[in-house]
Amino acid sequence: MFGTGFILRDDKMETGTNLETTIEHSIDHCFEIHDVTLREGDQHAGVAFSTDEKIEIAKRLIEIGISSIQAGFPSLSPIEAEAVSALVNSGLKGDFHCLCRYDLRDIDLADTCGIRKIGFSIPGSTSLSGNAGKLARQKLDYFVKYAKDKGLFLRMSCEDVARSELSTVFTLYEIAENAGADMITFADTVGRVTPTMALHITKQIKERFTIPLAVHFHNDLGLATANTIASLEGGADQIQVSVGGLGERAGIASMEEVLMILHTIYRLQLPVDTTKLYEVFALVRDYAGVDGADTKPIVGRDVFTHECGLHVEELLKNPLSYHPFDPCLVGRKFEFRFGKHSTPETISYTANQNGIDLSPMTRDAILSTVQLLALNKVDFPNSLLVQMAEALQKIEKDYINEGVQ
């Protein structure tokens, strides 16, 4: 079932200090290293990997030994669905997964793209709207069985575990496991977990459930790598990482840091060519146009900036939905920007803020332009939205609604 990551202890390595020797046997099980750069990294505000870039990054990851790869989020846009499909059909020997919303149409779309392994999230906390309640639980059994009937591997993620009641999290896992899910995920969506909490929660999940457990830690407070290691000590079966830790806001656990901690301190013999880590990092950095200073927790340029429409919609309802604390506490504020992951709702919201009520036709035309520019790595400022809205509304009025004069 796993694609990457089976580890042997390297007894030839120089033995560490007594202190290191006490911990080096605390990870002695097989686990998978799952790279999410092409999905989570692509969601970082301002990043838009093209299809060719996705394929090149995947190729380099596979070459260094990381073959379990999250290819993308097909329902974000037709362009993204095409990119995921192209990656699956590229001939690369990757074990490709994709992310879906909790929506049956996304299962169908993933299937159409040729993806055989999918993941989806349900918030466990009430900080994120919608799906934590009874209705979500009622749908879950059917959702899992629908995917399994199509022969798909299914991973169910409980989002925002840190702010959830563990009893709610366990109920969701139990329904998913009983319905036939293949894996569950402990996701610390806003980076509020400490290593002690990560270890404790991981152990509790491992004691209760038999299907493999994935872990996904965000880095808003700089703890993602430490939490990932702690969860491995607790028995996690899959760790989710990205190149340079690239992801939403301050990102997630960094692949390079996790691998080198496992190699250096835990003396694990990794099935990864670590001598190429910098090359892969530099490639992703150049394609993304983002470096470590931009994503540094708390002070990085991008860590309070949002592009993903689904997150923007949540933030408009609850400013703390996707942050562990109010940015004003550190002299910062939320910012939104347009890009590949913008949605019709974020276009309409920004137009409204500028006193413009968009028709669906104009809104969709603007969204297409935003996405096209993003794929060409060109920013779309608010001022351009206002200009386009005014011009398109005039065209619509003069030539469509009233006919060509």
**Per-residue DSSP letter, 325:** S
Smaller CB separation from Zn ion, 173 or 217: 217
Of residues 268-287, those binding Zn ion (CB under 5 A): none
Nearer to Zn ion, 177 or 220 (CB): 220
* Cα three-residue angle 315-306-337, rounded to 5 degrees: 120
**Least distance to Zn ion, CB of residue 109, Å:** 20
| Shortest CB 252 distance to Zn ion, Å | 6
d(CA 383, CA 370): 13
* Least Cβ distance, residue 84 to Zn ion (angstroms): 17
Tell the smallest beta-carbon distance from residue 256 to Zn ion (Å).
18
Whole-angstrom distance, CA of residue 252 vs CA of residue 320:
18
Nearest distance from C-beta of residue 189 to Zn ion, angstroms = 6
Say how far apart CA 153 and CA 148 lie, in whole Å. Answer: 7
What whole-number distance in Å separates Cα of residue 132 and Cα of residue 336? 26
| Per-residue interface string for the shown chain with Zn ion, residues 6-45, x marking contact by CB under 5 A | ----------------------------------x-----
The interface mask with Zn ion, positions 39-78, x = CB under 5 A, is -x--------------------------------------
Closest to 372 (Cα-Cα) out of 77, 31, 28: 77
d(CA 80, CA 341): 9
> For residues 53 and 220, which CB has a smaller minimum distance to Zn ion in the complex?
220
Q: Which is nearer to Zn ion, 128 or 270 (CB)?
A: 128
Comparing CB distances to Zn ion, the nearer of 5 and 251 is: 251
> 84 or 392, CB closer to Zn ion?
84
Tell me, rounded to whole angstroms, the distance of Cα 79 from its chain centroid. 18
State the nearest-atom distance from the C-beta of 220 to Zn ion, in Å: 11
Residue among 49 and 266 whose Cβ is closer to Zn ion = 49
Count of residues in contact with Zn ion, rule CB under 5 A: 1
Helix residue spans in 209-271 (DSSP H)? 224-233, 255-264
Residues 39, 304: Cα–Cα separation, whole Å: 19
> Is the CB of 40 or the CB of 294 nearer to Zn ion?
40
Q: Could you tell me if 86 and 80 are in contact, meaning their C-beta atoms sit under 8 angstroms apart? A: no
Q: Which residues contact 91 (CB under 8 A, 6 or more apart)?
A: none
Whether the Cβ atoms of residue 113 and residue 98 lie closer than 8 Å to each other = yes
CB of 307 to Zn ion, least distance (A): 14
Answer yes or no: are the C-beta atoms of 150 and 107 closer than 8 Å.
Answer: yes
Question: Cβ of residue 89: shortest distance to Zn ion, in angstroms?
Answer: 26
φ and ψ at 374, to 5 degrees?
-60, -40
Q: Supply the minimum distance, in Å, between the C-beta of residue 381 and Zn ion.
A: 27
Characterize the bridge pairing of strands 153-159 and 68-70: unpaired
Taking the least distance from each CB to Zn ion, the nearer of 40 and 256 is 40
In the complex, what is the shortest distance from the CB of residue 18 to Zn ion, in angstroms, rounded to a whole number?
37
The CA-atom distances, in angstroms, between 79 and each of 7, 58, 90, 113, 374 are: 37, 18, 16, 12, 11
From the CA atom positions of the chain, what is the Rg in Å?
Answer: 22
Site for Zn ion in 129-188 (CB under 5 A): none
Q: CB–CB of 34/241 below 8 Å?
A: yes
Q: Directed axis angle between helix 78-88 and helix 51-64, to 10°?
A: 40
Which C-beta is closer to Zn ion: that of 191 or that of 212? 191
Shortest Å distance, C-beta 382 to Zn ion: 26
Residue nearest to Zn ion (CB): 40
Select 140 or 215, whichever has its Cβ closest to Zn ion.
Answer: 215
DSSP state of 188: E
- For residue 355, what are its two tokens? 């006193």
User: What's 83's DSSP letter?
Assistant: H
Q: What are the residues binding Zn ion (CB under 5 A)?
A: 40
